[in-house]
Amino acid sequence: MIIEDDIFLNTDDFAEEVELIKNNSSRQIVCNFNEEGTTVNIGENQVITTNPFCDIKKSEAADINQGDIIKRNNINYYINYVIDSGDGFARLILSREQT
């Protein structure tokens, strides 16, 4: 049986591996990275953001916090928010500057 997130996070198609840096340790995670930004629901508010973001499996997001780093193509992106998408994914809202 094919699971939707297995297709969405397949590194042969849409996704890529990036490095998650947390507390001076790191691990690889698979994400769908978007440099352009999007509309995000935060609580009851809807915000349009131009910040890059990446979507990961919700299970990968359990220990990710604001200030952790995603390293992609030797560029550090700081995690501003971790948002549960409600569909088995989590969206990491990123910035190039530490907040």
Chain segment 25-66, per-residue pLDDT in tens: 999 999 999 887 666 666 777 776 678 999 999 999 989 999
pTM score, two decimals?
0.77
**Tens of pLDDT along 6-31?**
555 555 567 899 999 999 899 999 99
Say what the pLDDT of residue 2 is: 42
Enumerate the β-bridge partners of residue 75. 72
CATH code given to domain 4-95 = 2.40.10
**DSSP structural state of residue 87:** S
- Who's near 72: CB < 8 A, 6+ residues apart? 16, 18, 19, 33
Sole residue written with tokens 């499996």: 57
Q: With contact defined as beta carbons under 8 Å apart, do 19 and 28 qualify?
A: yes
Structure tokens at 84: 């549960």
